[in-house]
């Protein structure tokens, strides 16, 4: 059994990853999470009683506390998901993004290295590569050209991870994945937001002309990819993960309306996101050639399954949409309407 410390395990991808590890039953998992608006222990209700699971509430910006937790628990491996993850929020205010994504990552790298962690898996994003034109794919050698405060802060964290490897010989690997969707995604991101709004008969706010392209991957496939890199990745290397499922936003939104049995009159074109990246698409041939990993779920299959999950878990998303979420929704969308 490996003692794995997962940061951000109460968030969307982190909770799916923790559940996957516990279902597999080969490792001990310590979930370290600050429980921000995006972190929710309800996401792990099915596995929280597992003897191989424990949770500690802590903020990765707090160096002293993080060092103490590493000394107490002595994890062998770290899988680092914790981050501020939503581009629109970083446009409204980048402060927390720099603090958590950049400073928090360095705090973790330092504590992990000092306490003898043998592998640090840094979960990053394809957004560090910037935006593509109509053709081409991001490879691991594409230049780093982040365009939003979110992606700039993730790029900063990637460079600190790279430096820990080159300067200190610390064993790190980085994954860069495309857009995830699936169960437990906070309904501020495109797919769960559009599903929830469609189910409530609310308008679906499409930014700009709706023709921006994302490469969608089911969260379970992403988690398998992170895990194969954790087990088999080479120290110091970067691995792209992608879904081979490029779709324009409008295609995604129309697919959701069809599943919900609603008409296109619910679509509302709103002012575009500032600095909106036009297209992301991933070349994941490195991880496929080296480890045989590839996504297993088609987008149509995954979208339908995800839609059903949100239908069946209405109480979950209605709860997380109450309170502070309402203020964010008003701040982000209030100014866009009529755009």
- Judged by the rule CB under 6 A, the positions of this chain that interact with ligand NAD are 8, 10-14, 33-36, 38-39, 59-61, 81-85, 100, 104, 123, 125, 154, 177, 179-180, 186
Nearest residue to 261 via CA among 314, 317, 199, 206: 199
261 Cβ partners below 8 Å, 6+ apart? Answer: none
Catalytic residue check, 325? no
197 Cβ partners below 8 Å, 6+ apart? Answer: 203, 204, 205, 266
d(CA 35, CA 94): 19
- 3 neighbors 28 (Cβ within 8 angstroms): yes
Q: Should residue 205 be labelled a site residue for ligand DAU when binding is judged by CB under 6 A? A: yes
- 218 membership: H or E segment, kind and range: strand 213-218
Pick one of 101, 105, 249, 306: the residue that binds ligand DAU (CB under 6 A): 249
Catalytic residue check, 127? yes
Residue 82's binding partner among ligand DAU, ligand NAD, none (Cβ under 5 to 8 angstroms by kind) is: ligand NAD
d(CA 304, CA 26): 31
Structure token digits, residue 63? 């160096």
d(CA 23, CA 188): 28
Q: Which stretch binds ligand DAU (CB under 6 A): 15-23, 166-174, 203-211, 323-331?
A: 203-211
Helix, strand or coil for residue 254?
A: helix
Q: Which stretch binds ligand DAU (CB under 6 A): 16-24, 122-130, 132-140, 160-168?
A: 122-130
**Closest distance between ligand NAD and the C-beta of residue 62, in Å?**
8
Q: Should residue 78 be labelled a site residue for ligand DAU when binding is judged by CB under 6 A? A: no
Residues 181-200 contacting ligand DAU, CB under 6 A = 189-190, 193
* Nearest CB to ligand DAU, comparing residues 190 and 238: 190
Positions touching ligand DAU (CB under 6 A) are 85-87, 125-127, 178-179, 189-190, 193, 205-207, 212, 214, 249, 273, 280
């Amino acid at each position: 059994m490996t003692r794995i410390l997962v940061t951000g395990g109460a968030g969307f991808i982190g909770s799916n990853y923790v559940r996957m590890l516990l279902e597999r039953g080969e490792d001990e998992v310590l979930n370290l999470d600050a429980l921000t608006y995006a972190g929710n222990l309800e996401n792990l209700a099915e596995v929280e009683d597992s003897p191989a699971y424990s949770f500690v509430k802590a903020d990765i910006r707090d160096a002293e506390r993080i060092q103490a937790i590493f000394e107490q628990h002595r994890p062998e491996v770290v899988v680092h998901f914790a981050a501020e993850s939503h581009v629109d929020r970083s446009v409204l205010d980048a402060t927390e993004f720099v603090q958590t994504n950049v400073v928090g990552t360095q705090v973790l790298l330092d504590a992990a290295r000092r306490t003898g962690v043998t592998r640090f898996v840094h979960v990053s994003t394809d957004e560090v590569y910037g935006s593509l034109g109509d053709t081409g794919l991001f490879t691991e050698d594409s230049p780093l050209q982040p365009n939003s405060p979110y992606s700039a802060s993730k790029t900063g964290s990637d460079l600190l991870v790279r430096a820990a490897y080159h300067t200190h010989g610390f064993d790190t690997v980085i994954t860069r994945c495309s857009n995830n969707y699936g169960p437990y995604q906070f309904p501020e991101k495109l797919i769960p937001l559009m599903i929830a709004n469609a189910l409530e008969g609310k308008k679906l706010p499409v930014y700009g002309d709706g023709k921006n392209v994302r490469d969608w991957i089911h969260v379970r496939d992403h988690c398998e990819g992170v895990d194969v890199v954790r087990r088999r990745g080479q120290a110091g290397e970067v691995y792209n993960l992608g879904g081979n499922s490029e779709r324009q936003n409008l295609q995604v939104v129309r697919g959701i309306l069809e599943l919900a049995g609603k008409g296109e009159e619910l679509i509302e074109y709103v002012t575009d996101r500032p600095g909106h990246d036009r297209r992301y698409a991933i070349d994941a041939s490195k991880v496929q050639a080296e480890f045989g990993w590839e996504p297993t779920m088609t987008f149509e299959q995954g979208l339908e399954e995800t839609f059903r999950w949100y239908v069946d878990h209405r109480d979950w998303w209605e709860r997380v949409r109450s309170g502070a979420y309402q203020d964010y929704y008003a701040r982000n969308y209030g100014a866009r309407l009529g755009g």
